[in-house]
Structure 1
Amino acid sequence: MEKQSVVHRLRLKVKARRAVRRALPFVASLFLATPLAAPVTTTAARTQSTSATAPVKRALAKVMFAQGTRQVYNELKLSEKGLSFDVFEKAYTGYMNLRIQGKLNDQRQLLTVVDFNLPSTEKRLWVLDLEQKTVLFNTLVAHGHNSGENMATNFSNQNESNMSSLGFYVTDTEYYGKHGRSLKLDGVDQGYNDNARDRAVVMHGADYVSEDFIRQFGRLGRSLGCPALPMDQYAQIIDAVGGGTCLFLNGNSPDYQSQYLNTDLAASAFAAADLGESV
């Protein structure tokens, strides 16, 4: 598998460089189309050239990152699995930025996405192996009791709110609590989910997360804010994602903002890695 991974990265680099060559004439023309107002000295010309290079490189990095994100999405066949590209793009951007900041386990290239824009009756959790380009799990997941009935529409970071909290999390260690085997989560979005530890927001199994429950009540049961999982899968999911991997809870909240959705930073790191340059 190591050789396949190396070959895959080399192929990505070739495709990225092709994208750069295709985009360069267009992007560069944006800066070359505007004539200089007057002759400039050699020093001024060098300064102007340097100042023009930075926007070109940023634009090229964005082209490469957009193409790379779409490629990963297509390779994982996520459209067939019900995960929209817009949600994946946000999750992947945050994943990249968390890796840049050293907040994730370098040995575990996993990304877990939950889309609370979907009803609880749909399989709205995906565990993605970004190295092997496979979907490890696609299953049901519950939201908080006060976040809504079948649809989660309200979110909170407050104690005893019994709501889900949106944003990026980093998984930690497991423990045995009132729900049995559970996985601790660290919320990294200040003001949105950084109170997860105090609220005991964790991954755990629950018997109200099942197709039988949906048939009986028309929706899943609800947690006190935890992303609760089906009893027949929660242990395997905890085994897979524990120990420093990325979890992203998406939802329809116009107030939500995150430093980890910085596309410029993620694109710069992505392009630098593919081209063998420093960030």
Structure 2
Amino acid sequence: MHMRKLHAVFISLAASTLVSCSTVPEHGATASSSVVVAPVARQAQGVIERFPDAPAAQLDPNAATLTRLESLAPEADPGVLALALEARNCAIRNGEVDQDAKLAVIDYSRPSTDKRLWVFDVARDQLLFRELVAHGQGSGDNVATRFSNQDNSHQSSLGLFLTAETYIGNNGYSLKLDGVERGFNDNARSRAIVMHGAWYVSPDMAASKGRIGRSHGCPALSQGIARRVIDTMKGKQLLFSYANDTAWLHRGQSFACDGRSADQILAAARALRGGGAQRVAVAAP
């Protein structure tokens, strides 16, 4: 009986991915339903075959959604995507955002010359944007290595942000951010850490300087795309900023509502990429 119930759950999970995707904007990456469904179905079957007696609580609840995000952004670190997805799930569970909240992910462990910002419409299985994004002057040169929640540090902050209202400021059309990570980004509004466009965020700058320009801690975008991204992300959407920062990974709370640590979430997702569908089941925290 237990086996039949578990099998039914995973069959339902695989079937849920059959919803067709609408056309992705020109800055998105197109992924047909056949591309998305196949790995999810194989993953579900692999879990059943490898762990026939595993209780449901030990199976990663984000596995199918994570697989879809990975198919949309195969160049992204699956551990970073998993951590961001868990933070989104926690925010939904806490009533901070709706089920259809969009998710932007910045991976500050990558150099500034990489397109290290992804914007996902998770509910509709779409990658809307992949863009260059600046970090703060105080965080480092081409790679950000220092992060702060303090005013005048000119450093970027880590963790989950809720997007808020737009306004016209010194950097033009901008999006205010409210950090929800206590001690790591909850001073974002008072520090005026906002999303905005900047002339120094461009491939030409990256080619000539070996890095793009740096902000005072804001996630600045190229001027040509900033308004479109801001209009997509305004009003209680989610921005998740990642770096391999020990203090934040050990004490951050935005991704910790299911009892797993950041290390467990990162390791489980990366093992999936390296070891196949049979690695979906993880040890209970």
TM-score by length of structure 2 reads 0.72
On the 8 A contact 1:20/1:64 being kept in 2, the answer is: no
How far apart, CA to CA, are the structure 2 residues paired with 1:254 and 1:178?
A: 34
How far apart, CA to CA, are the structure 1 residues paired with 2:131 and 2:208?
A: 18
Partner of 1:89: 82
Q: Deviations over 1:157-190 (max 9, x none)?
A: 0010000000000100101111111000000000
The answer on 1:120 being equivalent to 2:112 is yes
Partner of 1:200: 192
Larger radius of gyration: 1
The answer on 1:70 being equivalent to 2:62 is no
On the 8 A contact 1:23/1:63 being kept in 2, the answer is: no
Counterpart code for 2:92: R
Q: Specify which of 235, 243, 256 is matched with residue 243 of structure 1.
A: 235
1:24, distance to aligned residue in structure 2 (A)? 6.6
Number of positions where the alignment pairs a residue of Structure 1 with one of Structure 2: 224
Q: Deviations over 1:224-275 (max 9, x none)?
A: 0000000000000001011101100001210003222226269xxxxxxxxx
Partner of 1:211: 203
1:20, distance to aligned residue in structure 2 (A)? 7.7
Partner of 2:269: none
Runs of 4+ in 1 over 6 A off after TM superposition: 13-20
Q: Specify which of 35, 49, 57 is matched with residue 61 of structure 1.
A: 57
Partner of 1:99: 92
Counterparts of residues 154-173 of structure 1 (less than 5 Å): 154-173=146-165
Q: Deviations over 1:83-123 (max 9, x none)?
A: 110100000000011011111144x4311000000000010
Identity of aligned residues (%): 39
On the 8 A contact 1:114/1:125 being kept in 2, the answer is: yes
SS in 2 for 1:259: coil
Which stretches in structure 1 are left out of the alignment for 5+ residues?
1-7, 28-55, 267-279
1:73, distance to aligned residue in structure 2 (A)? 2.5
Q: Specify which of 12, 15, 20 is matched with residue 11 of structure 1.
A: 15
Q: Deviations over 1:12-40 (max 9, x none)?
A: 3996986886577433xxxxxxxxxxxxx
On the 8 A contact 1:157/1:191 being kept in 2, the answer is: yes
Q: Specify which of 127, 135, 139 is matched with residue 147 of structure 1.
A: 139
1:143, distance to aligned residue in structure 2 (A)? 0.1
In structure 2, relative to structure 1, the CA distance for the partners of 1:19 and 1:259 (3 Å cut) is farther
On the 8 A contact 1:123/1:141 being kept in 2, the answer is: yes
SS in 2 for 1:87: helix
Counterpart code for 1:95: R
SS in 2 for 1:165: coil
In structure 2, relative to structure 1, the CA distance for the partners of 1:209 and 1:62 (3 Å cut) is farther
In structure 2, relative to structure 1, the CA distance for the partners of 1:178 and 1:164 (3 Å cut) is same
Q: Specify which of 53, 61, 65 is matched with residue 26 of structure 1.
A: 53
TM-score by length of structure 1 reads 0.74
The answer on 1:264 being equivalent to 2:268 is no
Which stretches in structure 2 are left out of the alignment for 5+ residues?
1-11, 19-40, 261-285
In structure 2, relative to structure 1, the CA distance for the partners of 1:21 and 1:250 (3 Å cut) is same
Cα RMSD over matched residues?
A: 2.4
On the 8 A contact 2:161/2:240 being kept in 1, the answer is: yes
On the 8 A contact 2:101/2:236 being kept in 1, the answer is: no
In structure 2, relative to structure 1, the CA distance for the partners of 1:193 and 1:239 (3 Å cut) is same
